[in-house]
Structure 1
C-alpha cells in the first residue's frame, strides 16, 4: 500500500485549530459513522487484523481518487493500529507523514467544534 498523500490538509477534523463548517460537503452523520475506523486497543492482535481493511478517507477524496486522511493515520499509528503501522513501515512512507499543529487525542474530540 502506498499513500496518495502524506501531508495533513488545512481543515482536517483531527486538527485542534480547524472549523468543521469549512470542510467541503461536511455531513455530521457521516463523520460520526467513522468511529468504526478507530482501532480498539482492548482487542488482541488477531481480532484487530480481522477488521483491518477499514480506513478513514480525506474529505477531499472524490469518486475517482480516494485520499487517505493523514490526521487519522497519525492518530492510529500512535494508538495501537498495529497493521497500519506495519504497512507504513514496509512502504517507507511513515517518515514522510506531516501533520500541521496540535492534534485531537480521540475520535470523539474530532466531533467537537
Structure 2
C-alpha cells in the first residue's frame, strides 16, 4: 500500500477546529456510514485481520483517484489498528518505498473518536 497523500487536508473531520459545513459536498449520512472503518482496539491481530479491510477515504477523493484520509490513518495508528500498521510497515521495507508513517503531517489538535468527528463546533 503506497499512500496517495501524507498531509492532512484543512477540512478533515478528525481536526478539532474544522467546520463540517466547510467540507466539500458534505453528507452526514455518508459520514455516519464510515463508522465501519474504525477498528476495535480491543480485538487481537487475528480478529482485526478477519474484519473487512476498509479504509476511510478523504473527502477530496474522486472516482479517478482515491485519497486516504490522513486524519483517519493517524487516529487508527494511535488506537492500535494492527492490520493498518502491518500494511504500512510492510510497504516501508520495500526498496522503492519510504517510511510513510513518519511522513504523516497532522494539522492541529485531533479528535479522539469517530463519534467526535460527527460533532459540530
CA distance in 2, matches of 1:41, 1:33: 19
Inter-partner Cα distance in structure 1 for 2:43 and 2:19: 33
Q: Which residue of 2 aligns with 1:37?
A: 37
Q: Deviations over 1:31-60 (max 9, x none)?
A: 001010001122222111012410000000
Moved more, 97-106 or 84-93: 84-93
* Structure-1-length-normalised TM-score: 0.96
Deviation at 1:86, TM superposition (A): 1.6
Q: How many correspondences in the alignment? A: 113
Mark the structure with the bigger radius of gyration. 2
Contact in 2 for aligned 1:52/1:83 (Cα 8 Å): no
Q: TM-score, normalised by structure 2?
A: 0.90
Structure 2 residues without counterparts, runs of 5 or longer: 92-98
Identify unmatched segments of 5+ residues in structure 1: none
